[in-house]
Structure 1
Amino acid sequence: MSNRSWATINLESLRHNLAVAQQSCPSSELLPVVKANGYGHGLERVARAIWDSNIRVRGLAVASIEEATCLRNLNSDQPIVLLPGFINQEELEECSRLKIEPVVHSLFQIALLEAREQPCQFHFLWLKISTGMNRLGFHEEYSERAFRVLSKLRSLENSELILMSHLAWGDMAGDDARNFTSNQQQRFAAVIDMLGHKGKCSLAASTGILEHPDTHFNIVRPGVMLYGSSPFDYISSEELGLRPVMTLRSRLIAINDLKVGDAVGYGATYTCEKDMRVGVVSIGYGDGYPRSASTGTPVILEGRNQLYRTALIGRVSMDMITIDLTEIESAAVEDSVILWGDSLPAEEVAAHAGTIAYELFCQVTKRVNFVVLE
């Protein structure tokens, strides 16, 4: 094991969180999202854990042709959805060859489909409707044309067209956010009715699954909740019954006794207001710990017989952080320190760093050793 820092990946927790998604919307199929290297947890290990679970999933969703190809090489049969779809003829051919289900969201994609001499042999095509996110998807006035063209392009007798959209403001509390989400759901339902679509539909990701049951429809797309983090700023992962999958740890490599008035770290951004005991932890932004984490960001020292909650002081360096050990007399070099995960939700750390748990997970670097618990 690395003496610097390591991330423990608990696949049983992943399967538990998948079960939470299933229990939250028992009438919907699950399409777990494993993009961005399984949200930084490892694409292959996450995919295998989901496939090997006793929970039936409709497939897996990714955001790049490279990740889709990796999954297809792992499993020749499981459905794979490419969320951004294809952007050129080469990617279209790869989707067709590898039996990857593309999302169609723009007219240029329809033109690429129409330009093929032979129709693509897709069993499933996804048509994305923009209902308020205004990122990818056809606006309502163009959706009828797209729906009509894609319906004609389906060459296989049993092929299916699935409608989808994405919530933009489902993670926030307050009337404005809830009204916006309700409006998106209503706009999506109106498009379904206008098109006379009788097939499957998908709107909810983690926020919709956990808080907005009207958005569930036929297929839901659990993302960050799979990895044990709350997508909300007003409900904790513990309250949602989620378990952390990644626990990031490091070690104490030095302990310094400082005097009142001593400064700590680059830029002397922290000055001791009293005599202090300061620990140096072997992790920094070179490992993916956020440089934006401010004084007061919580950490957990794993003592010999108990856990001690303390905090970061001073600026995050490339290889090290400093923490307050003044009240922890038993702290010793080589003690492990939890940066997020067990006993310390990633979203809490993220809030102190001015970011979100998604980013924390995704920016853990190769310098960190990964340890997998089945």
Structure 2
Amino acid sequence: MPRSTTARIDLDALRNNYRAACERAGSAKTMAVVKADGYGHGIARIASALSDVAPKYAVACIEEAVAIRAAGLFQPVVLLQGVHAADDFADCVHRNFEPVLHVEHQLDWLEQGGYAPDVWLKVNTGMNRLGFRPDDLPAVMARLEKMSAGAKLQGFVGHFACADDASSPMTAAQTATFETATSPWPLLMKSVGNSAAHFIPGQPLFDWSRPGIMLYGGSPIVGKTGPDLGLEPVMTLEAPLITTRVVKAGESVGYGGAWVAERDTRMGMVAIGYGDGYPRHAGTDTPAAIGGRRIRLIGRVSMDMLAVDLSNAPEAGEGDLVELWGRTVGVDEVASCAGTISYELLTGITSRVPRTSY
């Protein structure tokens, strides 16, 4: 019989978060970002749960778009990295994928292949990862217009570098750059709104917003948790207590003797570790919960196990489930203790942990 370590996926919470994104997007339509295996929740499960409300999906790469089609879903899928080989444009045409063009060689492939997919252009407004600089747009547009196959340009996309930080002036600067760069083509659609942008008062989201982490209940805003923003946790990560014992005052627990008991302490070992994707750097005092009561980690997280202090849950025993994150303990809290962000935690849960949905 397998251990009961599980990631439980609340599909109602997912749909509620999507509706919240739509409300914040105002007149903009909302494409659901389901890349990275649906942020670790399972791309087929997530996309299927949103199929009756999401008019379009967004992913990073074509293999993720193929997984959506394998789930029997037919909404358009935007490929945020575009294509990685010339032949991929044929798949884009036949499977209704919408690649984002962000570099010259993608234009070369499009010209040489004679395909006419729906495409978007990425505008580099200052993040300097992908995209054409604003001054390059007229030449790029001229190339697209000359292509005999006539790729159908849907519009322009951008991406914000600092939208998670309300005090940063960069988002306003990037928005202004984007608006100026795309103004010669007012009939084409525009999309810049990541999750964080939904929470910036007065921020234009143009024609399409692209919520990601907020769909899964994680916070896109520095210093805020998902619940602070009215979002519901979608994943509850649970694992069983497999033993309990009393650690005597002066005794240590785990590798390196990193935690030493100041007094006799009842502790438990939980069947989850960094081999399952739980963060190794979540140390002593990282919160967890059992039976709705908050408890804490003690010592170092090992590959397959971690230790918890059961002082606040004296009735807990072997077989009881420990919530590592979920409704009692937010994933953003755990991420903060581990020195990272909820995006990494959710996408990092390994295949050793089964996902179940309800």
Q: TM-score range with shorter-chain normalisation?
A: over 0.9
> For 1:280-332, what per-residue CA distance to the aligned partner results, in whole angstroms no more than 9, with x for missing partners?
11111111111111111100111xxxx21111000001111001112432121
Determine the structure 2 residue equivalent to 1:331.
316
Determine the structure 2 residue equivalent to 1:35.
35
Report whether the alignment pairs 1:321 with 2:315: no
- In structure 1, C-alpha distance between the alignment counterparts of 2:328 and 2:144, rounded to whole Å: 49
Determine the structure 2 residue equivalent to 1:190.
180
Distance 1:308 1:77, change over 3 A: closer
> For 1:113-163, what per-residue CA distance to the aligned partner results, in whole angstroms no more than 9, with x for missing partners?
1122x3x132x2100000111101011121221122223438469x44310
1:25, distance to aligned residue in structure 2 (A): 1.5
1:99, distance to aligned residue in structure 2 (A): 2.4
Structure 1 residue matching 2:249: 3-state secondary structure:
coil
| Two-structure CA RMSD over aligned residues (Å) | 1.7
Determine the structure 2 residue equivalent to 1:171.
164
Determine the structure 2 residue equivalent to 1:226.
215
Which residue identity lines up with residue 21 of structure 1 in the other structure? A
Pairing 1:1-374 to 2, within 5 Å after superposition: 2-52=2-52, 55=53, 57-75=54-72, 77-116=74-113, 118=114, 120-122=115-117, 124-153=118-147, 155=149, 159-174=152-167, 177=168, 179-193=169-183, 195-302=184-291, 307-373=292-358
Which residue identity lines up with residue 251 of structure 1 in the other structure? P
> For 1:11-68, what per-residue CA distance to the aligned partner results, in whole angstroms no more than 9, with x for missing partners?
111100000001112200111100010000001011111103xx3x331011121111
How many corresponding residue pairs?
358
The answer to whether the 8 Å contact 1:68/1:80 transfers is: yes
1:88, distance to aligned residue in structure 2 (A): 1.9
Distance 1:94 1:143, change over 3 A: same
The answer to whether the 8 Å contact 2:166/2:200 transfers is: no
- In structure 2, C-alpha distance between the alignment counterparts of 1:345 and 1:328, rounded to whole Å: 19
What is the aligned-residue identity percentage?
39
- In structure 2, C-alpha distance between the alignment counterparts of 1:36 and 1:248, rounded to whole Å: 18
- In structure 1, C-alpha distance between the alignment counterparts of 2:143 and 2:5, rounded to whole Å: 53
Q: Provide the TM-score with structure 2 as the length reference.
A: 0.96
Q: Give structure 1 stretches of 5+ with no counterpart.
A: none
- In structure 1, C-alpha distance between the alignment counterparts of 2:206 and 2:148, rounded to whole Å: 23
Q: Give structure 2 stretches of 5+ with no counterpart.
A: none
The answer to whether the 8 Å contact 1:281/1:323 transfers is: yes
